[in-house]
């Protein structure tokens, strides 16, 4: 009886380990593809670089926000911000 319990326990541990490994390795999408972009915003008259969507930026900064550019890489978004005077520089939504 003890040997059967040991075998059942071992199999249970093995199955839980395999299930845990599969769950950890399976891709889960917490955010959409758009949320993985880097964006340059004019928010309240200042240049900003964020990963937020336009809607999220408006929720955070208010309605005086517009998107000036959208990029796959942070370095590209920062270059665009530099072209516009750099982060914190004055800007206008048009």
Residue 88 lies in a domain: no
Q: Which two tokens stand for residue 22?
A: 């599969």
In the chain, the number of structural domains is 1
Mean pLDDT, to the nearest integer, of 33-42? 87
- Strand (E) positions, 1-94? 38-43, 46-50, 65-71
Of 90, 92, 39, 43, nearest in space to 65 by CA: 43
**pLDDT over 90 (residue 42):** yes
**Which distant-in-sequence residues (6+ apart) come within 8 Å of 51 by Cβ?**
35, 36, 37, 38, 39
pLDDT at 74: 97
pTM above 0.75, yes or no: no
Q: What is the pLDDT of residue 34?
A: 62
Residue 43 lies in a domain: yes
Would you say residue 76 lies in a domain? yes
């Amino acid at each position: 009886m003890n040997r059967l319990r040991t075998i059942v326990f071992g199999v249970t541990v093995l199955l839980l380990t395999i299930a845990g490994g599969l769950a950890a390795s399976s891709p889960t999408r917490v955010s959409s593809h758009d949320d993985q972009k880097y964006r340059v915003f004019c928010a309240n008259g200042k240049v900003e670089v964020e990963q937020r969507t336009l809607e999220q930026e408006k929720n955070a900064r208010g309605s005086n926000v517009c998107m000036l550019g959208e990029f796959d890489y942070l370095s590209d978004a920062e270059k665009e911000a530099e072209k516009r005077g750099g982060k914190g520089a004055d800007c206008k939504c048009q």
